[in-house]
């Protein structure tokens, strides 16, 4: 592919040391915005994400490793650690998501790397953060979701807590790691110094939990699982149609009035049971039942036409096939087509958010081979000759 790099981070070099999701997704975001991302993988085995996906199609790697160059290095041996130090000396950002203490054990902790490159920004993503009594514990995304409060409130009230169908805890922590790196880049312009960005899975989840904690502190209120609704926010639900399901969010007073007109029941807007936000919340179940009785008489397309006509926030429940066919996705280029020697033509999500002057882009496919860019990075960037590269490879260092 090798498209022109128009991204805001063009000229920024990132060394990605992490594996699985939290570190690599941070690298994906930075790469989409134009950074050069050099991914360091274990020799021969590579990042486990290479083998994640549905059935025989291991396509998760194609998303999370796009816009990256792969080099191989064994971080558990001194020569591999020395390679990382040399890479860090040339870099702006290093990303890692190992268990806290691991980088220090390898001689690659912040003190070691800042001694080599004081301007380096080090993004550290972990389950519980780099400090505190739990910092040494192993932590995956689901654990962060549980500790941060997410899992307890997701699902139906008569069942055990559920999870989302995506690794939201990892992705949130990676996104906060990316945001911290961007803030640190700006601060470096003022101070000339790099710093550590400490992104904990549970804190990233906690950050999006709205008023869950203060509601408990002030009122003693404990949010619980409420299925497809938010308790007291009505009407806002997925409603049945004659040929599927449809999401309607009409909990604001004026919007609810427009929904009543669309239903042919304008009098409901003045009914004391539904006239205010608080009243609708008290009568949430009966209001949902009333709306569902109406939506069942319509197809999804008929209901959507009414929602658009009356300017009511609403929408279809999309699956991948719907996204591929939707004209809005097409008009905004929300999906980008890739042409892979292995998979042929396929589409994936584009780079977001959209910047007007320095847009991000998908410029290269995920590296197919472990260490695919060893010659380019170790030779051209670090100045190792081919004989040394061959020796390191034969020794299992790269």
Task: Transcribe 222-254 into DSSP letters.
Answer: -----TTS-TT--SEEEEEETTEEEEEE--SHH
**55 CB neighbour count, 10 Å cutoff:** 6
Q: What is the DSSP letter of 129?
A: -
Report the distance separating Cα 241 and Cα 296, nearest Å.
4
Cα distances (angstroms) measured from residue 162 to each of 148, 150, 205, 246, 303:
14, 9, 15, 22, 30
Residue 253 bears catalytic tag: no
Q: Which of 47, 92, 170, 198 is catalytic?
A: 170
Report the distance separating Cα 335 and Cα 324, nearest Å.
8
Question: What is the pairing mode between strands 93-96 and 335-340?
Answer: unpaired
Query: 285 CB contacts (<8 Å, ≥6 apart)?
Result: none
For 82-110, b where at least 16 C-beta lie within 10 A, e where not — what string?
ebbbebbeebbbbbbbbebebbeebebbb
Report the distance separating Cα 108 and Cα 105, nearest Å.
7
CB 235 within 8 A of CB 293: no
The C-alpha angle 88, 82, 115, rounded to 5 degrees, equals 50
Report the distance separating Cα 388 and Cα 398, nearest Å.
11
Half-sphere exposure of 284 (CA within 13 A, CB side): 17
Query: 344 CB contacts (<8 Å, ≥6 apart)?
Result: none
Cα end-to-end span (Å), the chain: 26
Residues assigned a catalytic role: 170
């Amino acid at each position: 592919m090798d498209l022109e790099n128009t991204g805001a981070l063009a000229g920024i070099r990132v060394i990605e040391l992490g594996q699985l999701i939290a570190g690599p997704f941070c690298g994906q975001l930075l790469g989409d915005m134009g950074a050069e991302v050099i991914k360091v993988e274990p020799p021969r085995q590579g990042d486990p994400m290479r083998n994640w996906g549905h059935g025989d199609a291991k396509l998760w790697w194609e998303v999370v490793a796009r816009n990256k160059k792969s080099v191989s290095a064994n971080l558990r041996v001194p020569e591999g650690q020395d390679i990382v130090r040399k890479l860090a000396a040339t870099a702006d950002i290093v990303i890692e998501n190992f268990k806290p203490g691991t980088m220090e054990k390898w001689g690659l902790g912040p003190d070691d790397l800042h001694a080599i490159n004081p301007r380096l920004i080090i993004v550290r993503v972990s389950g519980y953060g780099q400090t505190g009594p739990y910092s040494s514990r192993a932590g995956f995304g689901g654990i962060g979701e549980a500790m941060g409060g997410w899992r307890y409130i997701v699902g139906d009230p008569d069942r055990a807590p559920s999870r989302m169908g995506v690794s939201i805890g990892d992705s949130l922590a990676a996104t906060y790691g990316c945001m911290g790196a961007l803030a640190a880049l700006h601060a470096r312009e003022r101070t000339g110094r790099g710093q550590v960005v400490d992104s904990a899975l549970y804190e990233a989840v906690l950050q999006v939990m709205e008023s869950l904690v203060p509601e408990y502190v002030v009122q003693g209120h404990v949010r619980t699982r409420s299925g497809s609704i938010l308790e007291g926010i009505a009407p806002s639900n997925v409603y049945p149609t004659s040929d599927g399901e449809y999401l309607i969010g009409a909990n604001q007073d004026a919007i609810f009035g427009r929904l009543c007109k669309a239903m042919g029941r304008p009098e409901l807007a003045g009914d004391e049971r539904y006239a205010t936000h608080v009243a609708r919340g008290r009568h949430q179940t009966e209001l949902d039942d009333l709306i569902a009785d109406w939506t069942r008489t319509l197809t999804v397309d008929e209901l959507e036409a009414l929602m658009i006509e009356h300017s009511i926030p609403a929408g279809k429940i999309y699956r991948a096939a719907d996204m591929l066919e939707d004209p809005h996705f097409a008009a905004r280029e929300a999906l980008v087509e890739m042409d892979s020697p292995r998979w042929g033509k396929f589409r994936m999500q584009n780079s977001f958010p959209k910047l007007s002057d320095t847009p991000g882009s998908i410029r290269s496919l995920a590296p197919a081979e472990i260490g695919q860019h060893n010659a380019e990075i170790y030779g051209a960037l670090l100045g190792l000759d081919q004989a040394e590269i061959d020796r390191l490879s034969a020794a299992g260092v790269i």
